[in-house]
Amino acid sequence: GQNIDQPTEMTATEGAIVQINCTYQTSGFNGLFWYQQHAGEAPTFLSYNVLDGLEEKGRFSSFLSRSKGYSYLLLKELQMKDSASYLCAVSNDYKLSFGAGTTVTVRA
Amino acid sequence: NAGVTQTPKFRVLKTGQSMTLLCAQDMNHEYMYWYRQDPGMGLRLIHYSVGEGTTAKGEVPDGYNVSRLKKQNFLLGLESAAPSQTSVYFCASSTGQGNQPQHFGDGTRLSIL
């Protein structure tokens, strides 16, 4: 079975940093993806981790610990346009299992 | 630069009606997927295909059928729609390689009355 947990909602101030945690217990693991989804739109790819450690991409970073079944997405220098849902997804072979998503609201 | 295109974007059906959702991709991807997204539940895999002429069941396949007659198209059918199938449906495609992301269409918002 697949169990992927992430917080439902988070609120932060423009310019601040927010960390979205994701814990997983899955029957297989080939990597972990993070997607961003604005309301009413398609999910878009943000990051991919397959090895332990931190992957940095501009204002966004993602971390993975396979032994702990844990990942986080770090959003720095928050902007209003970062208000969206962030989806954690575990890859097993060529299929993805998604968490329910974390809605981030950025306040001015 | 179309990527993944879904039609229609919105549809309202009555219980018992049938319909087909169309997904087309222009990236020459082998793998295609159909998901449904419901509040608080995240994306759930309905059916998927690893190549032209092949389909397989995902996590929530009941009440749906699919076909992949051409590599670029993946059709999702509802034979007899039920209110429980009210959802937002997303199609995605990928190369199938582990480190490559799935690319999603804009979704179809389906309401069953």
- The residues, ordered by sequence, that sit 6+ positions from B94 with a Cβ below 8 Å of its Cβ are A94, B29, B31, B33, B100, B101, B102, B103
What is the distance between the alpha carbons of residues A66 and A51, in angstroms, rounded to a whole number? 8
Distance from the Cα of A76 to chain B's closest Cα (Å) equals: 23
Residues of chain B found within 8 Å of residue A100, distances taken between Cβ atoms? 40-42
- The per-residue pLDDT for A2 is 81
User: Quick check: A105 and A39 in contact, CB under 8 A?
Assistant: no
Tens digit of pLDDT at every position of chain A (108 positions): 689 999 999 999 999 999 999 999 988 899 999 999 999 999 999 999 999 999 999 999 999 999 999 999 999 999 999 999 999 999 998 899 999 999 999 999
- The per-residue pLDDT for A20 is 98
Q: Does A95 touch chain B (CB under 8 A)?
A: yes
Q: Tell me: the pLDDT tens digits for B55-93?
A: 999 999 999 999 999 999 999 999 999 999 999 999 999
What is the distance between the alpha carbons of residues A8 and A6, in angstroms, rounded to a whole number? 6
- Beta-carbon separation of A30 and B106 below 8 A: no
DSSP state of B59: S
Residue B22's H or E segment, with its range, is strand B19-25
- Beta-carbon separation of A30 and B98 below 8 A: yes
Average pLDDT of the segment spanning B41-68: 96
Distance from the Cα of A31 to chain B's closest Cα (Å) equals: 7
What is the distance between the alpha carbons of residues A39 and A93, in angstroms, rounded to a whole number? 29
Q: Quick check: B1 pLDDT over 80?
A: no
When the pLDDT of each residue in chain B is averaged and rounded to a whole number, the result is 96
Pair type for strands A102-107 and A9-13: parallel
Q: Quick check: B36 pLDDT over 90?
A: yes
Q: How many beta-carbon contacts under 8 Å exist across A and B?
A: 53
The structure tokens listed for B64 are 């749906």
Q: Does B55 touch chain A (CB under 8 A)?
A: no
User: Quick check: A82 and A106 in contact, CB under 8 A?
Assistant: yes
